[in-house]
Amino acid sequence: MSGMTTNKMSRRHLLTLIGKNLGAAAMMQGMDTLGFAAASTYAGPIRLEGAPKGTRILVLGAGMAGLVAAFELRNAGYQVQVLEYNDRPGGRSWTVRGGDRYTELGGATQYCDFADGLYLNPGPWRIPYHHQGVLDYAKRLKVPLEPFIQVNHNAYFHSTEAFGGKPQRFRTVQTDYQGYVAELLSKAIRKDALDDALSADDAQLLLESLRRWGALDRDGRYQAGERSSDRRGFATARGGGLMPEAVPSDLLPREPLLASHLWQWLSSGNELDYQGTLFQPVGGMDRIAHALHAQVASAVVFNARVTAILQDGQGVTVRYTDTTTRSERNAHADWLVCTIPLSILSQIDMAVSPPMRAAIDAVPYETSVKIGLQFGRRFWEEDEQIYGGITRTDLPISAIGYPATGYGSSGPAVLLGAYMWGPASYETGALPPAERIAVALSQGSQIHPQYALEYQNGFAMSWSRSPFTNGCFAAWTDELRQAHYTNLCQIDGRIVLAGEHASHLPAWQEGAVLSSLDAITRLHRRIVNG
């Protein structure tokens, strides 16, 4: 970093450096955003008119895609039956509460001991404002929502290699990073170091914008003082009466700040998926799924493990095992909407065309690990004034999510102690649940030393060990989409697939909703038109 002085830095070098920094920030967010631009194309409730009387449609899976399909097809006049592997609706749109019992692949069983009213969302935990499909079902079914806090400027950025491993507030990293960048650009403009011509008026406007953006002084310098402290916080805060006068805070040194890579998380609220406002259902993410299920409950069969899917010119037959009695059963219908994840569907005997079979078999699934930790008090609020939001770290736990509800309440609370992707999620997910929790406690205590004293119990979900998904979401690549996506989404005889895997918004509930609406609209058209 010794070459990073204004006298030695060309405009191209400076802007290249900034571009690399901001580009790296975006890339580091890639795993969090899953690499997809998740804007929704939802255009409002669908209308399916003219359903032939007595037509039977079988839906496999009571996750968001299956429940939406059942709800809309029933409303259109179809006779609907839903088969669901679990003993609850929602699929991955799942909330774990005290008293719940969960057995994963390998036989490890967890009993959730969270206090009343506390929960963990092992799957989706936030809804972007532009996911209008999910939001519309919440509105139509009167599911109350509350804000989800994505960016909290008082949460932490933490690197084991920077600043002695001491966590730094989001606001201090952002303020100092912007200040140094603005100062360097300001100096480049003043020294006529820009390659591209600027008029005098444009240069003056750009300088003024940099002063405001970077909290620079009148001379274009970024330094400790009231301007910077109004953003990054004061060493001694402003008070009243005869309290001590405010004292500006010291800046993080420029070169260690750039070397820390803490700036990689500054764009965490800039991606379309995470721009405000985000929402969460009051009481847990499964509230929307449960509201949909309430509309079609009489049609849903739980504890049904599908073993074979057959079809001919007259209809479809699904063989399934009742997992409570171990008895084998058959379900018959005229048409089938299958929302079973491809990771499971690829293991099921299914009478479809070779192109669809190849598509089903081609798509791998990514995993994730989420760990919920219950503590005796909300120390992140009481001790550190963190209300909602996410702390980022280079430790394998990756993120700590603070509850965006119950602010200021006394007694226990649950925070998300780990949200892992990539290799760390496979390594940690392979451990027994108690050891996963131990990892989250050990690593999280480097940021919050209160862990050891306040911890009470936890729940650790590894999606690679989920018996009903064998993974977290469909990990499409451009090449796989080019080869298989269209074939996967076709109506194959009397069968159509739906789910997040049959969308361009994988890993999002909105993808499941849109895929379901598209699939049943096309299926309805096929049925009506023959």
Read off the pLDDT of residues 515-526 as tens digits, 9 standing for 90 and up. 999 999 999 999
pLDDT at 24 over 50: no
**pLDDT tens, residue by residue, 268-295:** 899 889 999 999 999 999 999 999 999 9
3-state secondary structure of 149: coil
pLDDT at 5 over 60: no
pLDDT at 430: 96
- The model's confidence at residue 191, banded by pLDDT at 50, 70 and 90, is confident
Beta strands in 285-436 (DSSP E): 300-301, 304-311, 316-322, 327-333, 335-338, 349-350, 365-366, 369-375, 390-393, 399-401, 413-420
**pLDDT tens, residue by residue, 202-254:** 888 888 999 999 999 988 999 999 999 999 999 888 999 988 999 999 999 99
Q: Look at 448 and 17; give whichever has higher pLDDT.
A: 448
pLDDT at 438 over 80: yes
pLDDT at 193: 58
**pLDDT tens, residue by residue, 51-102:** 999 999 999 999 999 999 999 999 999 999 999 999 999 999 999 999 999 9
**pLDDT tens, residue by residue, 237-248:** 899 998 899 999
Comparing 5-9, 68-72, 246-250, 302-306, the range with the smallest average pLDDT is: 5-9
Residues 482-488, mean pLDDT to the nearest whole number: 98
pLDDT at 141: 98
Give the chain's domains with CATH numbers.
56-86+290-365+471-529 (3.50.50.60), 96-154+276-284+368-465 (3.90.660.10), 171-256 (1.20.1440.240)
Q: In this structure, what DSSP letter does residue 390 have?
A: E
pLDDT at 194: 58
Tokens found for residue 175: 């303020």
Q: How many CB atoms lie within 10 A of CB 11?
A: 17
- The model's confidence at residue 426, banded by pLDDT at 50, 70 and 90, is very high
- The model's confidence at residue 26, banded by pLDDT at 50, 70 and 90, is very low
pLDDT at 176 over 80: yes
pLDDT at 28: 36
pLDDT at 197: 57
Nearest to 455 by CA among 371, 370, 393, 377: 377
Which burial class, exposed, middle or buried, applies to 67 when counting CB atoms under 10 A from its CB (0-12, 13-18, 19+)? buried
pLDDT at 29 over 60: no
Q: What percent of the chain has pLDDT over 90?
A: 84
Question: Amino acid identity of 263?
Answer: W
pTM of model > 0.85: yes
- The model's confidence at residue 196, banded by pLDDT at 50, 70 and 90, is low
Q: In this structure, what DSSP letter does residue 499 have?
A: S
**pLDDT tens, residue by residue, 326-368:** 999 999 999 999 999 999 999 999 999 999 999 999 999 999 9
Q: What is the mean pLDDT of the chain?
A: 91
